[in-house]
Structure 1
Amino acid sequence: MATRAGVLLALALSLTTTGARDCIELTLPGKFDDSILNRTFLNLNRRHESDFGMLDLWERFPKVIVPGNATSAQCRRDSQLFLEGLDRLELWALKMFDATAKPPSGILSGNANQYGDFDECLDIADTVRGKYCLASLEVSLDRPGYEHLDYLIHSGHYLRSNATDMGHRVPRYSSILWGVCIPSSCSSYDLEEELSQRLSGLGISVRVQNTMCTVKDVKRPYSFGKALSITFFLGILLLLSLGTILDDGAEGTTNFEKLLNAFSLKRNVRKLFEVDEEARVKGVDAFRGINALALLLAHKSMAMAHNPYVNKTHFSKVFGMPWAVIGRSAIVYTDSFLYISGFLNANNLLQELEKKGTIDIKNRLISRWFRLFPLFLSLMLFCTYVLPDVNNGPQWNLVVEEHSRVCEKNMWKSFLFIHNFFGFENMCLTHTHQIGMDMQLYVATIPLMLLLWRFRRLGWSLVAAIAVASTALRWSAIYWYDISMFVYFGITVQKLLDAAKYSYILPTHRATIYLIGVCMAYFLRNKKFDFTLSKTQARLLWVVCFALAAATIASPYRMGLAGYQYEHAPAAIFAAFSPIVWGLFMCIMHWGICNDYAGIGTALVEWRVFKFFNKIAYGVYLTQFPIFFYNVGVQRHSEHYTPLLLFPVPEMLAVLATSVITTVAIEMPFNKIYRIYFGKPQTNKLKEK
């Protein structure tokens, strides 16, 4: 017995580096006795109850975690077998012990999240089968003298969270994730009770969700939705194969031949890489490309907050620096897309009004549906029914499986383009709230443009009233719900969700910048600002333009610094007026480019890369988050954080490649299907030309 205990002690020292006193827990009797362990931990709790110190966390944190007092008799028997096997140095038992996370070095540098060994745990299939669970530990040190220690243990409180917060899209940054390997017969409730008892008196609360436990080769139940999804994707593959193989270069004469041509990869790839030199509104492609890149990096930084780092406090320090305001002001980049959408929608509607004097509403709505829905539907089906079976990992159940369950329950809201009215917690593909807003604002723009066309004074009065009301709604939402449109340092996850639910994802609150785009389209088409500037005036125009942009982005920088305490006034001012100031910046820049005042910036604005990116922009927007969270879900171990991780070349190439594939395989074919079955005959188009 002494020899076995000595070997176990050596193993513990090599694995945990926690000191010789851990042998209290490792030198276990040959026969498991619940009362011995219970009395031992009860006495330790009593002894340290009055003089609690941080060293208790190291001394008393359990290294051998097994639900010995489980509700299930089978779990209790398997726990007994595990302890006996550990005493006899059986390999499977040592693997179960080895796969469980241990207190590491560097906790005060942010090395708190410990996944253990996910794969080693799942590979245990001997006397007892392994189950991997990722527990959430909430450490509370809110007592005088522990403030800085609390700051370090929670990795700088970049975001404040707790175990009950939604974690599948917004990270539970303040929670400590702890990987535990237990017998598969034990439940998450058994593990939660065991950890809660063992950690009582240490200021640590525990939550273990059943969905955060994994057993090898346990597949999701087959469902009608999964069968439908597989059928849908097989149908797409069949059409792509037939269309590509049977494409002889000739234009089809029947609708079926045209349908196959629409799914020809050869045609679509060639069309994708042909830079269309048709007359387009100058600057739009560059606006979209630059803002898409900025938003991509902002989204990546949020996904990174899910990952464990050995120096996670450095992560907080970097994003608490003044320059990080560029990323924290991400709402202005989404405002840019709303401006572009408002401008293009109004411009197209005005073109139709100039030609016909009316708008074909039915045709417009069908066209919009074919533009947005097929690729949107494909991604929802893939993320809901296919992606969960592709891989696994410590956080896979949280960021992939849990999101799949949300989609399965709430996908119908996305089908109707109303999903942005139900908050992030109940939204399938949370980043697609912009699609819902865009569709709703587009539908509202049609009668608005008709009104402007026929009753100009009444129309402009309505535009002004809506813009003012939208600004007032943003201001009042800040005061009513104590929220902020700027991601200030130390914001809680719940406040982020509230900000989205009560303002950020609502078209009523975001209409101002959209209407600025509508107004700009009207003024440019009617040449309301058609005048000439001297070189000095043009330079002054650009100075004013970029000053407005810098003021919008940098004005709330103080809110992004560590230690910031929330204030209503700065948050309300930023929420209410940043869309207006940013809209003025967009208008001035847009007018300057359209009137050839870009100077040396003309080459950048007309860069062919932006014209190519415009064709895959929708794919980039939709596919980035599934790729980001796929990588979060499969991550096994902590890594060393550096700011360069914000620019992961392989991941960005994956986003680019996936966007190209989805564009040529789904988006372009369905756009052609619309033209085949709902568009005007080619002869009519030639007559119009």
Structure 2
Amino acid sequence: MATRGCLLLLFIGACAAHDCLELTLSDQTILTDSLLNGTILKLATKNESLDDSVRFNVLELWDKFPKIVVPTNGTSEQCRRESQVYLDSLDRLELWALKMFDASAKPPSGILSGNANQYGDFDECLSVDGPVRGKYCLANLEIDFRGDEKIETIDKLVHSGHYIRSNATDMGHRVPRYSSLLWGVCIPSSCSSFDLEEELASRLRPLRISVKVHNTMCSVKNAKRPYSFGKTLSITFFLAIILLLSLGTILDDGKEGSTNFEKLLNAFSLKRNLKKVFDLSDEPSRVKGVDAFRGLNAFALLVAHKSMAMAHNPYVNKVTYSAVFGMPWAVVGRSAILYTDSFLYLSGFLNANNLLQELERKGTIDIKNRLIARWFRLFPLFLSLMLFCTYILPDVNNGPQWNLVVEEHSRVCEKNMWKSFLFIHNYFGFEDMCLTHTHQIGIDMQLYVATLPLMLVLWRSRTLGWTLVIGIAVASTVLRYLAIYAYNISMFVYFGITVQKLLDAARYCYILPTHRATIYLIGVAMAYFMRTKKLNFTLSSMQTRILWALTMGIMGFTLCYPYQMGLEGYTFEPGPAASFAAFSPIMWGVYMSLAHWAICNSYTNEKAAAFVESRVFKFFNKIAYGVYLTQFPIFFYNVGVQRHAEFYSPLLLLHIPEMFTVFAISVLATVAVEMPFNQVYRIYFGKSKTKLKDK
């Protein structure tokens, strides 16, 4: 067919697989000579030796790649009939058939710059409504070149140096299937993903290209979602929140309520809560330096999370993306675990500091009241986000990867949300975790519960208490080392790491409180020393400068120690990875402790003081929990709706509209959910209730 003949060069897109590295002059010569002279290439799958490989002339290989893909041998009669109608109508140049053909991916320019992932036209495919309706499917094509030096060079170029290695069966809803080529195909709506996969596989098998088309990666217009009781419950929950916010805001007269009901309405007043959020005056209980620590580490973690989300996206120059993250300075982003360690330190410090205050006043800890307060602090906003992402967000929009990064995650949440309700979701791996980034909430809650009896023991028997603190910290360090070494995994995202290794590292080390307790306990110890005034002395100006130099040196060394692991061509070794996992939390904890102590007791520089006490940090501290929870849903919303490849630039890490959205929604979540429910706790369980009874 003349129309189908315009797909003659489709294999060019397939050969690019996912990304291409920048070519040296010699590489360009090798590749150009190979193409122009029809050099014979050896292609083999991972499970076959080179002796069994099939030889093809490159130009002949391009010609044999399917010019048009339609499941003419589909499993259902309707699929086979509509496929034939589509082909016949295409021959007659009927508009609806041309749209379906036009909506499927075509070989682009700039493949050697990384422009290999081709979505086609998602909206055009879904708009096809002739005798046959369109169905959009995003297929995963897996290509592997092997052979002599020339072939290895091409394989390296095709996969952008294998920045992250993956296959089509890997979990893709949070960790990207980076090595797969994503190819959009528009087929008749009566055909299934299995029909398309079989059609593609049968035609690409001789070319040694494997295919996977997940059912969840196919979309049709106005697809009906099954009824869900959870969705009804979620809508009811959010309507109730909106009603309370409306009543509380409208009826707020600026006076303190005299009854619990009036106080409840005031708690949901947006006017009051917005005023509190932007009230940046110092609180008596605020610990100096905490706001700055939290703000700086949260920003670094935000950028690191954004870089992982970006790995899902197609770019016309995706080779640049790989090259940037293979540079030595990219260790700052690849060491993201250190920023999460900072939050564990701060959590340990603040929890211990608050418990020590209560022990000083009462000589004991009200464990029940503490646990209720913690629940009201963490769970309402956590629950709101889970319900929204599970039952509301999937209906908000669509796109080529929407079913993967939004709907697939919704299905995981619907099945496993109950684990998050109990704060045990971090024990089941990323694959089955609702809102994977919330593993930190589970770790924090479990360590908090363990801290309650530990602080009681430390208060009543310093010898036994410190024996437990040091013993648990050492045991946690040993567990990290053994886990990393035994499973050949890494807590550092080294160049060429596989998706499975990332998931294994999470399951066996990263998301377990037993393996992350060391730096948390360093925070506990620091709170004890500062609270008991063991470190209450002032350094001279020279001593302060030496202390800061030492502190920055420890930070820089810990951060940059594994930089070689981030370079292209790195060969994984379990020993260095285990050493980094075991000792980096200790070194980072020492850095945090020294910096924290210096800020609280020893700095005299006015500019440094102004920076640490900046109002920006104070404001961020109030919305930090909202920023932490909402960033990933916003990042993956944008991944899901993206229709085409864009030009990659490192500035996209700080995409202003997206960052503004994160902060705006975080403010809204804070004033509409987090602050009201914190006040509800105070009304019914805290000081407000006590005062009311006293009256």
Q: TM-score, normalised by structure 1?
A: 0.93
Quick check: 1:592–1:598 contact (8 Å CA) kept in 2?
no
1:625 is aligned to 632
Matched, 1:636 2:633: no
- Match of residue 265, structure 1, among 259, 263, 270: 270
For structure 2, the 5+ residue unaligned runs are: 14-42, 44-51
- Which whole-Å CA distance do the structure 2 matches of 1:566 and 1:16 have between them? 36
Shift of 1:684: 5.0
- Which whole-Å CA distance do the structure 2 matches of 1:636 and 1:458 have between them? 60
Q: Which amino acid in the other structure matches residue 272 of structure 2?
A: R
SS of alignment partner, residue 251 of structure 1: coil
Residues 56-105 of structure 1, C-alpha deviations (whole Å, 9 max, x = no match): 55322223110011111110000100000000000011111111112222
- Which whole-Å CA distance do the structure 2 matches of 1:648 and 1:487 have between them? 23
Residues 632-687 of structure 1, C-alpha deviations (whole Å, 9 max, x = no match): 00000011111111110000000000000000000000000000000024775999
Shift of 1:8: 6.1
Tell which deviates more after alignment, 498-507 or 598-607. 598-607
Shift of 1:12: 5.2
- Match of residue 162, structure 1, among 163, 167, 181: 167
Quick check: 1:134–1:394 contact (8 Å CA) kept in 2?
yes
Q: Which amino acid in the other structure matches residue 142 of structure 1?
A: R
Matched, 1:493 2:494: no
The change in CA–CA distance for 1:53 and 1:646 in structure 2 (over 3 A counts) is farther
Matched residues, number: 654
Shift of 1:156: 2.4
The change in CA–CA distance for 1:54 and 1:302 in structure 2 (over 3 A counts) is farther
- Which whole-Å CA distance do the structure 1 matches of 2:374 and 2:338 have between them? 25
The change in CA–CA distance for 1:590 and 1:53 in structure 2 (over 3 A counts) is farther
1:478 is aligned to 484
Quick check: 1:49–1:201 contact (8 Å CA) kept in 2?
no
1:26 is aligned to none
Q: Which amino acid in the other structure matches residue 239 of structure 1?
A: L
Tell which deviates more after alignment, 540-549 or 136-145. 136-145
Residues 579-620 of structure 1, C-alpha deviations (whole Å, 9 max, x = no match): 000000000000001104152311110001100100000000
2:547 is aligned to 541
- Which whole-Å CA distance do the structure 1 matches of 2:525 and 2:604 have between them? 22
Shift of 1:109: 2.0
Matched, 1:565 2:546: no
2:367 is aligned to 361
Q: Which amino acid in the other structure matches residue 207 of structure 1?
A: K
- Which whole-Å CA distance do the structure 2 matches of 1:497 and 1:439 have between them? 22
- Which whole-Å CA distance do the structure 1 matches of 2:617 and 2:638 have between them? 27
1:605 is aligned to 612
Tell which deviates more after alignment, 677-686 or 173-182. 677-686
2:179 is aligned to 174
Quick check: 1:556–1:574 contact (8 Å CA) kept in 2?
yes
- Match of residue 88, structure 1, among 89, 92, 98: 92
Matched, 1:442 2:435: no
Tell which deviates more after alignment, 148-157 or 370-379. 148-157
2:76 is aligned to 72
SS of alignment partner, residue 71 of structure 2: coil
Matched, 1:247 2:247: no
- Match of residue 343, structure 2, among 293, 317, 337: 337
Quick check: 1:168–1:398 contact (8 Å CA) kept in 2?
yes
- Which whole-Å CA distance do the structure 2 matches of 1:119 and 1:321 have between them? 37
Quick check: 2:263–2:683 contact (8 Å CA) kept in 1?
yes
- Which whole-Å CA distance do the structure 2 matches of 1:637 and 1:522 have between them? 54
- Which whole-Å CA distance do the structure 2 matches of 1:57 and 1:536 have between them? 71
- Match of residue 106, structure 1, among 99, 104, 110: 110
Matched, 1:224 2:229: yes
SS of alignment partner, residue 179 of structure 1: strand
SS of alignment partner, residue 56 of structure 2: coil
Quick check: 1:117–1:636 contact (8 Å CA) kept in 2?
yes
- Which whole-Å CA distance do the structure 2 matches of 1:598 and 1:423 have between them? 46
Quick check: 2:10–2:66 contact (8 Å CA) kept in 1?
no
- Which whole-Å CA distance do the structure 2 matches of 1:487 and 1:8 have between them? 44
SS of alignment partner, residue 339 of structure 2: helix
- Which whole-Å CA distance do the structure 1 matches of 2:412 and 2:111 have between them? 34
Residues 391-439 of structure 1, C-alpha deviations (whole Å, 9 max, x = no match): 0000000000000000000000000000000000000000000000000
1:130 is aligned to 134
Q: Which amino acid in the other structure matches residue 140 of structure 1?
A: D
Q: Which amino acid in the other structure matches residue 304 of structure 2?
A: A
Quick check: 1:219–1:389 contact (8 Å CA) kept in 2?
no
- Which whole-Å CA distance do the structure 1 matches of 2:664 and 2:428 have between them? 32
SS of alignment partner, residue 584 of structure 2: helix
Q: Which amino acid in the other structure matches residue 174 of structure 1?
A: S
Matched, 1:523 2:526: no
- Match of residue 115, structure 1, among 116, 119, 129: 119
Quick check: 1:309–1:641 contact (8 Å CA) kept in 2?
yes
- Which whole-Å CA distance do the structure 1 matches of 2:494 and 2:98 have between them? 45
Shift of 1:309: 0.8
Shift of 1:535: 1.2
- Which whole-Å CA distance do the structure 2 matches of 1:458 and 1:198 have between them? 70
1:647 is aligned to 654
Shift of 1:531: 2.3
Matched, 1:185 2:190: yes
SS of alignment partner, residue 391 of structure 1: coil
Shift of 1:200: 1.4
Shift of 1:108: 2.4
- Which whole-Å CA distance do the structure 2 matches of 1:455 and 1:147 have between them? 64
SS of alignment partner, residue 72 of structure 2: coil
2:210 is aligned to 205
Quick check: 1:109–1:155 contact (8 Å CA) kept in 2?
no
- Which whole-Å CA distance do the structure 2 matches of 1:676 and 1:64 have between them? 66
Matched, 1:431 2:443: no
2:307 is aligned to 301
Q: Which amino acid in the other structure matches residue 493 of structure 1?
A: V
Shift of 1:576: 0.4
1:234 is aligned to 239
**Aligned positions of 1:305-316 closer than 5 A:** 305-316=311-322
SS of alignment partner, residue 187 of structure 2: strand
**Aligned positions of 1:400-419 closer than 5 A:** 400-419=406-425
Shift of 1:495: 0.2
- Which whole-Å CA distance do the structure 1 matches of 2:685 and 2:264 have between them? 13
- Which whole-Å CA distance do the structure 1 matches of 2:652 and 2:12 have between them? 31
Residues 292-317 of structure 1, C-alpha deviations (whole Å, 9 max, x = no match): 00000000000000000111111111
Residues 330-385 of structure 1, C-alpha deviations (whole Å, 9 max, x = no match): 00000000000000000000000000000000000000000000000000000000
- Which whole-Å CA distance do the structure 2 matches of 1:297 and 1:121 have between them? 34
Question: Aligned residues: percent identity?
Answer: 74
- Which whole-Å CA distance do the structure 2 matches of 1:7 and 1:154 have between them? 31
The change in CA–CA distance for 1:520 and 1:57 in structure 2 (over 3 A counts) is farther
The change in CA–CA distance for 1:483 and 1:16 in structure 2 (over 3 A counts) is closer
1:276 is aligned to 281
- Match of residue 599, structure 2, among 593, 602, 612: 593
2:33 is aligned to none
Shift of 1:151: 1.4
- Which whole-Å CA distance do the structure 1 matches of 2:370 and 2:347 have between them? 15
Q: CA RMSD in A?
A: 1.8
- Which whole-Å CA distance do the structure 2 matches of 1:678 and 1:258 have between them? 13
- Which whole-Å CA distance do the structure 2 matches of 1:18 and 1:141 have between them? 14
- Which whole-Å CA distance do the structure 2 matches of 1:645 and 1:435 have between them? 28
Residues 504-523 of structure 1, C-alpha deviations (whole Å, 9 max, x = no match): 00000000000000000000
- Match of residue 679, structure 1, among 667, 686, 690: 686
SS of alignment partner, residue 177 of structure 1: strand
Q: Which amino acid in the other structure matches residue 626 of structure 1?
A: P
